[in-house]
């Protein structure tokens, strides 16, 4: 009983309700923000010239050097799937046999937290799934890598970049806004009784 009360006090009633809904009713609802930027290639190149780390295109083996609590079996399966898909590219930093940063771009698919069939426009790329090792957080790696990714997307012929940010992820918002992204709107995605759903109307943002 004490242990149960302790968990409630630690997580809060709202968090406990989310756990119950997800575990027993297979229901979760996420509020997501749709961001986009026009790529300023010259600015991106100027910013990455100041970068002190060597960035490389990552392979599946590089993710095996990541934190095992993050890159666990399920996550590694996703990394392998993307590495075998030529519409995805991963870039990052490996130092001392440790993956300290990774981030992905999608050249065709607009990935959401639930299964969907959205496609990017021919002039768009998607920035997603960025990771920074805890020992290097707070040192501006996310901002610098964002500019690196924007320059890569431009070299792939893209002039716009899309990012999807989970509501409440304040650090991600700060990084994206600093990189020139603007919020175009919000939508919801998740599962209700195990059935995936989303409310995204991508066409509404295509003209921006």
- How would residue 8 be classed by pLDDT, with cut points 50, 70 and 90? very low
44 belongs to a structural domain? yes
Is this structure's pTM higher than 0.75?
Answer: yes
Give the pLDDT mean for 24-42. 88
Number of domains, the chain: 1
CA distance 4 to 22: 18
pLDDT higher than threshold 50 for residue 1 = no
Gyration radius of the chain's alpha carbons: 18
| Per-residue model confidence as pLDDT tens digits over 48-81 | 988 888 999 999 999 999 999 999 999 999 999 9
Establish if 125 belongs to a structural domain: yes
Q: Give me the helices (H) in the chain, please.
A: 2-11, 13-24, 41-48, 60-63, 73-83, 141-155, 170-178, 203-206
Q: Which three-class secondary structure state does DSSP give residue 154?
A: helix
State which residues form the domain around 98: 29-206
Q: What is the CATH number of the domain that holds 74?
A: 3.40.630.30
Is residue 20, in this structure, part of any structural domain at all? Answer: no
- Whether residue 21 is contained in a domain is answered as no
Which residues have CB under 8 Å from 146's CB, separation 6+? 127, 175, 176, 178, 179
42 within some domain: yes
- Packed helices 141-155 and 170-178: angle between N→C axes, nearest 10 degrees: 50
Structure tokens at 23: 């575990």
In tens, the pLDDT along 172-189 reads 999 999 999 999 999 999
Task: Give a yes or no: residue 11 inside a domain.
Answer: no
> Phi and psi (nearest 5°) for 53?
-95, 155
Is it the case that residue 163 has pLDDT exceeding 50? yes
Kindly state the average pLDDT of the residues 190-199: 87
By mean pLDDT, which of 2-6, 8-12, 164-168 is the weakest? 2-6
Whether the CB-CB separation of 90 and 82 falls below 8 Å is answered with: yes
Residue-wise pLDDT for 80-114, tens only, equals 999 999 999 999 999 989 999 999 999 999 989 88
Q: Would you say residue 152 lies in a domain? A: yes
pLDDT at residue number 76? 96
């Amino acid at each position: 009983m004490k242990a149960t009360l302790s968990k409630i006090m630690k997580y809060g009633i709202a968090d406990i309700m989310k756990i119950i809904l997800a575990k027993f009713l297979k229901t979760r609802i996420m509020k997501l923000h749709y961001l986009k930027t026009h790529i300023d290639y010259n600015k991106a190149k100027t910013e990455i010239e100041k970068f002190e780390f060597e960035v490389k295109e990552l392979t599946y083996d590089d993710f095996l050097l990541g934190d095992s609590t993050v890159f666990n079996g399920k996550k590694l399966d996703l990394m392998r799937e993307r590495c075998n898909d030529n519409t995805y590219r991963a870039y990052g930093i490996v130092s001392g046999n440790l993956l300290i940063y990774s981030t992905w771009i999608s050249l065709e698919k607009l990935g959401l937290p639930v299964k969907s069939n959205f496609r990017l426009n021919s002039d768009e790329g998607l920035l997603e799934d960025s990771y920074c090792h805890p020992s290097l957080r707070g040192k501006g790696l996310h901002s610098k890598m964002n500019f690196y990714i924007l320059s890569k997307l431009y070299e792939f012929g893209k002039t716009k970049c899309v990012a999807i940010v989970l509501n409440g992820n304040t650090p991600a918002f700060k990084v994206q806004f600093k990189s020139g992204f603007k919020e175009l709107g919000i939508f919801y995605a998740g599962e209700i009784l195990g059935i995936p759903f989303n409310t995204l109307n991508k066409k509404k943002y295509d003209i921006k």
